[in-house]
Amino acid sequence: MTNKLTTLNLYLEPSETRRLASLCGPFDDNIKQLERRIGVEISYKNNHFQIVGQPRNCLTANNLLKQLYIETQTVKGSTPDLEPDTVHLAIQEAIALEADDATTDKDLYIKTRRGVIKPRNPNQSEYVANIVRHDISFGIGPAGTGKTYLAVAAAVDALERQEVRRILLTRPAVEAGEKLGFLPGDLSQKVDPYLRPLYDALFEMLGFEKVERLIERGVIEVAPLAYMRGRTLNDAFIILDESQNTTVEQMKMFLTRIGFNSRAVITGDITQVDLPKHQKSGLRHAIEVLSEVEEVSFNFFQAKDVVRHPVVARIVEAYEAHEQTQQRLKDQRASHQQQEASHHES
């Protein structure tokens, strides 16, 4: 990626003061949103706009300004105010189109200050592409497939590009159950052990001191899932880890917290649910309910996608084979019992 900057001049016609004011928004909020999310600097005087940034970003901002100016056309004698929602959706569509172009390239990667992180197999590449393209992405599969690590890398990348203002990490503290309040320390110290994998990835990509500073400033926030209730999360990259341990109600609550200019990645392994047996996993339920929603992506990892020690892949395969055998035996017993019941009835 080149760091060379370019300057692009744009004249919006016809020059109408009311329409230009609507385009820029109160206190230039719309312009600031374009700058932050596209990664450019925009200055203007009357209908002359000057865009500074990398060539591709400048072209994107140029096209968006033209498109949004059309939205301000006078209707029935009055100029409509350009709503933040309209600006957000236009930017989101432009970013998605760029992502489609970018992710057709075989050299897909995530760039952080500590180096370049490249997907190691086709499933990981598709997963990263989906994170870029979609507001909500699910990464589902066994341990060691990189689903959480890549999600954190994408979050760090989005933060450093100023596409989002903060990163929020959350996870259900199922293992502690009702005893969470009896653990020593404050809330962060109680929950930290359950979020250690997320911390480890952050430390690797940003460094320990920077992560600590960002946490102190609230740019990176770590919280148990229960504390998401009642919040609306804008301008954030949100990662829900170990989502197989959410209840149906918790998953619905989490998904409805997501606000404008936010992205969410939900990771989990449906073969390792720690919920009580009578409770259905929120992750399993979400797969059933959201499978047809176009704005939501699903990536399913398998044992062959494991990127840890080779023995981990073989362990996962052994467990999968055992579970399939047990399921076949269970189905055979159920079928046999049904046949016996039918025979007695006749």
Domain range annotation of the chain: 6-100, 105-307, 309-346
Please enumerate in sequence order all residues whose Cβ is within 8 A of that of 85, keeping only pairs 6 or more positions apart, or say none: 260
**For position 78, what pLDDT does the model report?**
77
Q: How far apart are CA 213 and CA 131, in angstroms?
A: 26
Residues of the chain short of pLDDT 70, as ranges, are 1-4, 76, 96-109, 111-115, 174-194, 307-313, 316, 345-346
The CATH number corresponding to 105-307 among 3.40.50.300, 3.60.21.10, 3.30.420.40, 3.90.1150.10 equals 3.40.50.300
**Please, are residues 130 and 301 in contact by the beta-carbon 8 Å criterion?**
no
Cα 276 to Cα 181, 247, 281, distances in angstroms: 20, 10, 10
pLDDT digits (tens, 9 = 90+) for 35-72: 888 888 999 999 999 999 888 889 999 999 999 999 88
pTM for the whole structure: 0.63
**For position 223, what pLDDT does the model report?**
80
Q: Within 13 A of 97's CA, how many CA atoms are on the CB side?
A: 13
**Please, are residues 181 and 88 in contact by the beta-carbon 8 Å criterion?**
no
**Please, are residues 303 and 116 in contact by the beta-carbon 8 Å criterion?**
no
Cα 6 to Cα 2, 111, 129, 144, 230, distances in angstroms: 11, 22, 27, 42, 43
CB atoms within 10 A of CB 233: 21
Residue 320, SS3 per DSSP: helix
**For position 103, what pLDDT does the model report?**
47
**For position 204, what pLDDT does the model report?**
84
CB atoms within 10 A of CB 43: 11
Q: Within 13 A of 14's CA, how many CA atoms are on the CB side?
A: 4
Vertex 89: Cα angle to 85 and 94 (nearest 5): 150
Q: How far apart are CA 258 and CA 264, in angstroms?
A: 7
**For position 104, what pLDDT does the model report?**
44
Secondary structure element (H or E) that encloses residue 67, with its range: helix 55-71
Percent helix / strand / coil, the chain, rounded to 5: 55, 20, 30
**Please, are residues 160 and 288 in contact by the beta-carbon 8 Å criterion?**
no
**For position 229, what pLDDT does the model report?**
78
**For position 307, what pLDDT does the model report?**
64
Q: How far apart are CA 96 and CA 90, in angstroms?
A: 10
Any idea how long the chain is? 346
Please enumerate in sequence order all residues whose Cβ is within 8 A of that of 327, keeping only pairs 6 or more positions apart, or say none: none
Q: Does domain 6-100 have CATH number 3.30.1370.10?
A: yes
**Please, are residues 238 and 168 in contact by the beta-carbon 8 Å criterion?**
yes
Q: Tokens 């176009």 map to which residue?
A: 294
Please enumerate in sequence order all residues whose Cβ is within 8 A of that of 246, keeping only pairs 6 or more positions apart, or say none: 172, 225, 240, 254, 281, 282, 283
